[in-house]
Amino acid sequence: MAHYVDDLPGTSAGTSTSGPENSNSLISSTSKGPYVHQFKHHYTHLMNALSELRRDEELCDVVLLAGTHRIPAHRVILAACSCYFKTMFTTSLQESSQREIRMLEIDGQTLSQMVMFCYSGELKITDSSVQQLLPAACLLQMGEIQDPFADTHSCRELARIADVYTQNNFQQVITSDEFLQLSLEHLLILVSSDELHVKSEEQVFEAVKRWIHCDLAGRRQHLATVLEYIRLPLCDPKFLVSVVSEDPLVKADPAARDLVDEAKNYLLLPLERAHMQGPRTRLRRAAYCGEVLYSVGGWCCGEAIKHVERMNPNQRQPKWEQVAPMKKPRCGVGVAVLNGLLYAVGGHDGVAYLNCVERYDPATNQWDNTVAPTTSSRTSVGVAVLNRCLYAVGGQDGVSCLDLVEKYDARDNKWTQVASMGTRRLGVSVSVLKGCLYAIGGSDGQNPLRTVERYDPRTNKWTSVQPMNVPRKHLGTAVFDGKLYAVGGRDDKLELDSAEYYDPITNEWRFIVAMQSRRSGVGLSVSKNKLYAAGGFDGNSYLKSVEVYDPQEMSWRFHSNMNFRRLGGGAATIPMLNVQEDKVKEQQETSESGESPEVEKREMEDNLLGRMLIPKSHRRAIYEYLFNEGVTVAAKDPNAKTHPNIEGVTNLEVMMAMKSLASRELVKQQFAWRHYYWYLTNEGITYLREYLNLPEGVVPATVKNKAKEPRLPLGDRPSRPGPKAEGDRDAYRTTEKQTDAGPGAAPVYRAGFGRGGPAPQ
């Protein structure tokens, strides 16, 4: 008896026992018997022959009509490829006996392609046809098209839609059984998303905890991996300490404990947060309660002011409220937001031109002055953020207008100069549009300018673009909806109420409706696609009024007034969480109670529990060095770029890692004037041995070198020398301890400290 080739053991269809060029083959069965003849290209020849019959309309028994298209075909072929046609032709439906069938839910071109696929197995997909082919395949129930489409096109779109739904409805999704069945990979994608709609990170932690407990034995090993994608530093401190830290699974996992420690450190060291930014400190976009407008500094009543106030335009009755003032009064200050922190650059304090910079954290309602100063003092300076760097542009230093431009990188706390502008500009305003920095208007010291320059960071060059319709100095600029807006300012005669925008596509400036007040030295910012123009000078008086421009209505209207009149103040918008408002209020209440910020700062530092956000590789390098040496030394300099003994690790990372271990009594900490010292305890040795996966017998070098002298029996001890020599104490005293310690005093370190070389200087 003969066998089909697919039935033969150890063979598959299309397999040939002869060379590849031979289309015929003889394949024997495993038992003695007849041979099977296989024609390799039989199916191809068969379908080609059927296609020719269809093309010539021979033996066709059905014609499909769609639009103006008339498509002949064979019922048996259509039924074999489409469940839709199989049902139509094999049941008692009216169409089963019709010669011509009108197809109403599919266009002729698409239907023709689907029928051709039934005969050839090929489908041509173009950008214009892709949106029609998938619905047609679904209608005709053609799985051979549906399944690949689901993988290559539709599934991506469906996955995107599903992801958006899951992110927008996270609180409902996590209560479902399907959430508990997610794979680790899909869970990580979900909880790592910046688009996740949650009121707080506490909800994410509780959801992950529920997922792990669904299969505790199989999933507890993934705890630290999942926690890496939760923004623990953004959790409420009480929740972090009382819930997360006390969770039994977290307590039992060293890597998970380290993640909790870094979150505590972020919360307890607000002045160091600029150095701790990372994926786990980034607010989820959906977590923002809105955007809050800030008005900073300025000039009023003959003096520079340091007052700062804010307003949430999303409130039903928006009003301006004061927050912590700057440490220095500043008029002509440049402001911008970098990593969620508000920077105030330069300005004039009423006495001198400033090069110092202050930074405000809305989460703590505190200003700090640890930012490096600019390379030159300047007021009427333009400031903006581009590619995670702060740019200070133009201004004046009291002698001349400046064309100087410099940028600040918070990661190394350093200003560096870039290419200068083609024109000197004071009272300039700068904004960022499509990856480039624009310097708009200002004055060259003689005349107000209408010219505009654009800086490209990729080429480090400035180029001129289309000038404004009118010259403006001390104007306000902002960007939204892909356009650059310029409002107010002053020309060579009057303060201005006019406003215009620049379209980079057409390279044109166009006027919009004028403001209701003239405003020179105006602060301009954007929130919810509306322009807010705050303060300024109208030619007669300093203003505290605010106007808002709605592009839909194409009109300006007055908004709530500020508490202070301001000329030359800065304006900025900061995304904000609900919890931040509570923290600011708590801070204000604390300040009213008489508790000074300096006392609070010292208390936070004394109660340090965490370590900074550092990569795992850096943390491991620190722990390996500590375990090998048994002791670690670090200078009291959080801004030092590197630690002298641990390659690739910053000094601040070492300080924070050690302080974290000290809080758990895994190291003993000692202080000197310029350095910290940490010694491993027995508990620390055990902890690091477990963390580093080291064998039981491995110990630090200090333990190896510590040879105990044999204890002598009582009465056999060597006699001590007589009275202590007067010079003994001088032998271990350093010269510095015999004199007053000045600001640059440093202890003298004796040789032989631990096992390493000399202590870092």
pLDDT, residue 598, reads 38
Q: Please determine, for residue 651, whether its predicted confidence score (pLDDT) is greater than 90.
A: no
Report d(CA 613, CA 322) in Å as an integer.
32
Average pLDDT for 699-724? 51
pLDDT, residue 616, reads 78
Q: Please determine, for residue 95, whether its predicted confidence score (pLDDT) is greater than 60.
A: yes
pLDDT, residue 671, reads 67
pLDDT, residue 544, reads 95
Say which CATH architecture domain 614-707+750-761 belongs to.
Orthogonal Bundle (1.10)
At residue 334 the predicted structure's pLDDT band, cuts being 50, 70 and 90, is very high
According to CATH, the topology of domain 44-144 is: Potassium Channel Kv1.1; Chain A (3.30.710)
At residue 706 the predicted structure's pLDDT band, cuts being 50, 70 and 90, is low
Interval 395-453: pLDDT, tens: 999 899 999 999 999 888 999 999 999 999 999 999 999 999 999 999 999 999 999 99
* Residue scoring higher pLDDT (657 or 611): 657
Annotate 504-520 with three-state secondary structure: CCCCEEEEECCCCCCCE
Distances in Å between the alpha carbon of 341 and those of 11, 280, 335?
69, 16, 10
Answer yes or no: are the C-beta atoms of 33 and 52 closer than 8 Å: no
User: Out of 260-274, 323-337, 472-486, which region has the weakest mean confidence (pLDDT)?
Assistant: 260-274
* Residue scoring higher pLDDT (712 or 214): 214
Interval 270-323: pLDDT, tens: 767 767 777 888 877 655 557 899 999 999 888 999 999 999 888 888 899 999
pLDDT, residue 35, reads 75
Q: Please determine, for residue 590, whether its predicted confidence score (pLDDT) is greater than 60.
A: no
pLDDT, residue 186, reads 86
Tokens of 385: 């953020």
- Look-up: residue for tokens 């060095």? 625
Q: State which H helix or E strand residue 564 sits in.
A: none
Nearest to 112 by CA among 158, 58, 72: 72
In the beta sheet, which residues pair with residue 453?
439, 464
**What region does 746 belong to: left with phi over 0, alpha with psi -120 to 50, or beta?**
beta
Q: What is the three-class DSSP state of 439? A: strand
Tokens of 582: 């509570």
Report d(CA 595, CA 199) in Å as an integer.
31
At residue 621 the predicted structure's pLDDT band, cuts being 50, 70 and 90, is very high
At residue 162 the predicted structure's pLDDT band, cuts being 50, 70 and 90, is low
* Residue scoring higher pLDDT (198 or 482): 482
pLDDT, residue 157, reads 52
| Chain CA centroid to CA 598, Å | 31
pLDDT, residue 39, reads 78
Report d(CA 202, CA 239) in Å as an integer.
7
Class of domain 290-576: mainly beta
Interval 21-70: pLDDT, tens: 444 554 544 555 677 777 778 888 888 898 889 888 899 999 999 888 89
pLDDT, residue 129, reads 66
> Domain limits of the chain?
5-40, 44-144, 165-281, 290-576, 614-707+750-761
Interval 340-363: pLDDT, tens: 899 999 999 999 999 999 999 887
| Average pLDDT of every residue of the chain | 80
CATH of domain 165-281: 1.25.40.420
Distances in Å between the alpha carbon of 532 and those of 324, 518, 543, 558?
22, 14, 14, 10
Say which residues have a Cβ less than 8 Å from residue 65's Cβ, sequence separation at least 6.
71, 100, 101, 102, 103
Report d(CA 426, CA 581) in Å as an integer.
36
Identity of residue 219 = R
Distances in Å between the alpha carbon of 21 and those of 26, 27, 404?
14, 16, 75
Report d(CA 641, CA 644) in Å as an integer.
10
**Among 91-100, 156-165, 636-645, 732-741, which range has the highest average pLDDT?**
91-100
In the beta sheet, which residues pair with residue 417?
406
pLDDT, residue 248, reads 93
pLDDT, residue 159, reads 59
Q: State which H helix or E strand residue 343 sits in.
A: strand 341-345
Interval 242-278: pLDDT, tens: 899 999 999 999 999 999 988 888 887 776 776 777 7
Interval 112-142: pLDDT, tens: 989 999 998 888 876 566 667 777 887 888 8
Say which residues have a Cβ less than 8 Å from residue 311's Cβ, sequence separation at least 6.
292, 293, 295, 318, 319, 320, 321, 546, 560, 562
pLDDT, residue 160, reads 64
Report d(CA 472, CA 453) in Å as an integer.
14
Average pLDDT for 536-544? 95
Q: Please determine, for residue 552, whether its predicted confidence score (pLDDT) is greater than 80.
A: yes
At residue 711 the predicted structure's pLDDT band, cuts being 50, 70 and 90, is very low
